Amino acid sequence: MADGMEYIYHQDSKGFVKLFIYWILISLSGLQILSCPDVCSCHEGLLVCYGKGLYFVPEGMDDDTHTMLLAYNKVTALKTLSFHKYPRLKHLELQNNIISNIDSQAFQHLQNLSYLDLSSNQLTTLKPEVFRPLSRLTTLNLGNNRIVRLPGGVLDHLINLRILYLHNNALPGLRVDVLYKLPVLEQLRLDGNPWVCTCQIQYLLSWMIDNAEKINEKERTLCGVPKYLDQYPVMEIERESFDQCQHFFTLFEYLYFLLIGMALFVMSILLCLLAGSVVVCYERLLLRAQRRPRVYKKKTARKRESITTGHRIPECRM
């Protein structure tokens, strides 16, 4: 028993010495080994971490990191500080994670990022400023998410964007000015969205027809609404179909005009009432000012009056 204890103790102290030597060696060999997560491989600025069950973007890596391959993990959010230590990052793959939230400052320092893959995540919305720092971005893949709307201005600063994938989302429409602001766009995917092919799509369709060579998967870009156009290719709708849309108002606009009309009606009635009462009050004031003071005459005076009939007493004028 005592021998055993001694043996264990002996082993333990040996292990401790070993650990201590390792620690010194690792410290001497620089921080690069320390900062690469065990499950990943890191080599000269390339981080490879495919399918390792990561919940977060690895921290404390070499700040020379230019490529991060983080697909098939379990990252749920990109935080403000997720990438702030990697200003040299050029290539970032985050496809097939479960990202549902990206802070508006998440890509703040990545002015050299040129490739960003966020496909196959769980994005539903994007903050309008989120891509603002990425003026060198050439490829943006947002396919296979659940995006319901691209906020106005969200792609405004991507002046070098050549490839934009928005396929397999929940977009019912897309403001065409989002596309006008991408001067060097070469490839666009819009398939797999439930496009609403009513008057509201006419400007997007116009752009699509004029830029047909830029659109991939045209025959798979289908209407979802209205019912009679379900699964009909968007680009096969004739431009002339929208001729009657010129003076088309949406229900919302009709309600808006109705409300304005009613408000004006009520206001004009109120104004009439106000003007009427002002006139009446004015008249009354005027009358009151003109009314002569009521004079109560003494009985003796009245008698004298009756005596002096024929002689007029001059009226008192004010």
Whole-number Cα distances in Å, 111 to 132, 158, 173, 246: 9, 11, 30, 43
User: In angstroms, what is the minimal distance from the CB of 83 to ligand NAG?
Assistant: 12
Residues 6+ apart with CB under 8 A from 131: 107, 137, 140, 154, 155, 157, 158
Query: β-pairing, 115-117 with 139-141?
Result: parallel
User: In angstroms, what is the minimal distance from the CB of 184 to ligand NAG?
Assistant: 18
User: In angstroms, what is the minimal distance from the CB of 95 to ligand NAG?
Assistant: 24
User: In angstroms, what is the minimal distance from the CB of 144 to ligand NAG?
Assistant: 30
User: In angstroms, what is the minimal distance from the CB of 74 to ligand NAG?
Assistant: 29
Closest CB to ligand NAG among 112 and 125? 112
The CA distance from 81 to 3, in Å, is 54
Q: How many CB atoms lie within 10 A of CB 7?
A: 10
Backbone angles phi, psi at 117, to 5 degrees: -115, 110
User: In angstroms, what is the minimal distance from the CB of 112 to ligand NAG?
Assistant: 4
User: In angstroms, what is the minimal distance from the CB of 44 to ligand NAG?
Assistant: 15
Q: 107: closest CA among 125, 94, 121, 119?
A: 94
Q: How many residues bind ligand NAG (CB under 6 A)?
A: 3
Closest CB to ligand NAG among 84 and 175? 84
Closest CB to ligand NAG among 86 and 195? 86
Amino acid at 127: K
Q: 47: closest CA among 83, 12, 6?
A: 83
Which pair of tokens denotes residue 193?
């969205």
Closest CB to ligand NAG among 109 and 149? 109
Each residue 250-269 as x (binds ligand NAG by CB under 6 A) or -, in order, gives: --------------------
Closest CB to ligand NAG among 115 and 203? 115
Closest CB to ligand NAG among 65 and 193? 65
Closest CB to ligand NAG among 87 and 233? 87
Q: 54: closest CA among 35, 32, 30, 71?
A: 71
Q: Which of residues 69-128 bind ligand NAG (CB under 6 A)?
A: 87-88, 112
The CA distance from 7 to 31, in Å, is 35
Evaluate whether 180 touches 156 at the Cβ level (below 8 Å). no
Evaluate whether 116 touches 139 at the Cβ level (below 8 Å). yes
User: In angstroms, what is the minimal distance from the CB of 88 to ligand NAG?
Assistant: 4
Closest CB to ligand NAG among 87 and 194? 87
Query: β-pairing, 46-48 with 41-43?
Result: antiparallel
Amino acid at 245: C
Evaluate whether 222 touches 216 at the Cβ level (below 8 Å). no
Residues engaged in binding ligand NAG (CB under 6 A): 87-88, 112
